[in-house]
Amino acid sequence: MPKDRRSFLERLTGSVPAEEAEEKTFSFKGAELDKKGQLPETSDEGQLLVDVYQTLDEIVIQSVVSGVKPDELDVAITQEMVTVRGKRERGGHISDENYFYQELYWGSFSRSILLPQEVDVEGSEATLKNGLLTIRLPKIDKARIQKLKIKQE
């Protein structure tokens, strides 16, 4: 197995040295683009676009998943990462020559998000309203000190 010569930061962020950038694909808002700035035709799975932000107490992830039923979505959460998977099915078949524009994504999609800090997996919740998936992840407060009561036996 060849050793990856990129630095740790380059491997973590997916960036490449400038001399290699001309040979590689580019990323725009989570979607891989080719040298011409186009989405590749051979992708088996789409990448879900997300907004990730924080409040004082939680990290919030939002994504538009219109046309996907809640039971067709899978949200997996660890303390460091969230993965959302699903599939958007097209209703009926329309031949390609009848399209004027074809920009919507149909098929399987997924997205894994590395979280900026640890979260409480048990206290997390996901809701789907009007096609907007919202995942709320309570932050773990490492600075909080919990005093234990000592029981005498």
Dist. CA 116–CA 105, nearest whole Å: 29
**Residue spans per domain, the chain:** 1-42, 44-138
pLDDT, tens only, 68-80 = 888 889 999 998 9
Query: 44-138 — its CATH code?
Result: 2.60.40.790
Tallying the residues shown for the chain, one arrives at: 153
pLDDT, tens only, 29-54 = 444 444 444 444 445 788 889 999 99
Please give the model's pTM, rounded to 2 decimal places. 0.63
Q: What are phi and psi of 130, to 5 degrees?
A: 55, 40
